[in-house]
Amino acid sequence: MVRSAREAGGNHRRERIDAQLRQELALAIATDVKDPRLAMVTVVDVACAPDLSYARVKVSVLAEQAEREHVLRVLRGMTGFLRHRLGERLEHLRRVPKLDIRLDDSIAYGVRVGQLLDSLESAQGARRGDAHG
């Protein structure tokens, strides 16, 4: 598929905007929000729509499932405040995208896989020890 120079430039611009939004959202959550429940929130990824009308924000929360869902509800309730902060910090944007905040389970999944591999490795090590003794 052949893309025009304009499309390629638009994608690069959108990638820069995504990165800026991710950085500024992480900063706003860490410094501007006084809610201690949001201390374990990490902004993993931001992907804007081509027209920049909305942005899908993926966050990771290191907590139990019930707490993660509660934190997600709190963050979704704060989208107006977060958009206002983004508007103050990113003056070059004509319009701040609407935020669609979602949980990203990839970090928790990776931790769980690591734990399973560690337990499997230790179980195999114990079996080898029993076979030799």
Q: Residue 71: which domain range?
A: 5-105
pLDDT for residue 126: 76
Q: How many domains does the chain have?
A: 1
CATH number, domain at 100? 3.30.300.20
Place of tokens 């374990």: 40
Place of tokens 């959550």: 29
Residue 51 lies in a domain: yes
Whether the pLDDT of residue 5 is over 50: the answer is no
pTM score, whole prediction: 0.74
Span 10-44, pLDDT tens digits: 688 899 999 999 999 999 999 988 888 788 899 99
How far is CA 8 from each of CA 5, 15, 56, 103, rounded to the nearest angstrom?
5, 11, 21, 29
Structure tokens at 62: 């290191």
How far is CA 55 from each of CA 25, 92, 118, 125, rounded to the nearest angstrom?
11, 17, 37, 47
